[in-house]
Structure 1
C-alpha cells in the first residue's frame, strides 16, 4: 500500500510517497495529484521514512547539504531512466550541468556511441524524486532554462538557494 504525506516548503507543498519501506516519490502538490491520492491512497504522516524525508527537506531548505544516503529510495522506470537519474544524482550541490553532458555520460555507461539530449530530457521529466534527485541542476546549452516539473520559477529558486549564479540564466523565448 502506498503511503503519502504532505510537507510545506518555501516553494509550495510537497507530496511524499512511500511503499512503507522505501521513498518512492517527491512531487510538488497539484490539484490533480491531491485528487488522485484522496481516492486511492493512505495519508500517513507518522511513517518513519516519511518523517525522515521531511527532516531531510527541512535541512535542505535551511541551507544545509543533507546526506541523501540516509533515505532509502526505490524508483520505477526503464534501465535508461534509472541510469539518467543516477547520473543526475552525481551533480554536486550548487553546481549545474547540461542535458548534453548527461547524455554523453549515460551513453558511455550504456556502451553506446551517442545519446540524444532529448531522450535524456524525457527521462529527467519523469524523475519521481524531485529535489532529492536534483534534476533542477540540469540546464540546456548556453545556460538555457528548460523544463522542470515544478515550473521554471521553482527551478531558478532551487538553483539560487544552492548558490548558483542565476542572473545569467536564459529563459525560453515566449
Structure 2
C-alpha cells in the first residue's frame, strides 16, 4: 500500500478485534511518527484497547509478534526502521524481520501488519513516517492492512459463504 496505486480504503468496524502494535525504539523521531499513525488507525477502525509494546530494534519484532499471536491477538502491527549503512547488517536485519514476521502470520493464522521501513537514508524514513511534511504514513497503512486482513480471517473462520 505505497504511494501511487494504493487502494482507497475506508475504515471498517473492528471493535471486536484484539490488536497490538509492536514498535522498535531505534530512530526515535521516525518511530514516534509510525506509532502515532498506527494508533490513529486503531481509533479510526474502532479498536477499543490496542496493546502497545516497545522492543529495542527491528530484529526483535518477530519474536514479540509471535508471543502476541500465541496469546490470541487477531492482528499484530510490527513497526520498525532499518537504514542502510556501510555493512551488510542492513540486509541481515531486513531479511530476518521480513521472514520472521511472515512466519508468525502463517504459523498462527494471524494478520501481521508490516510497517518496517527499509530505507537507504534517514530522509526516506522521515518521508514515510507520517510526520508533518511526510509524503506517506506507513504506520497508519500497515495498521489498516492488518485490521482489514484480521476482519477477513475472522469472517472466514466463522464460515465465510462466498
TM-score range, shorter chain: under 0.3
TM-score under structure 2 length normalisation? 0.26
Structure in which a larger fraction of residues adopt helix: 2
Larger-Rg structure:
1
TM-score under structure 1 length normalisation? 0.25
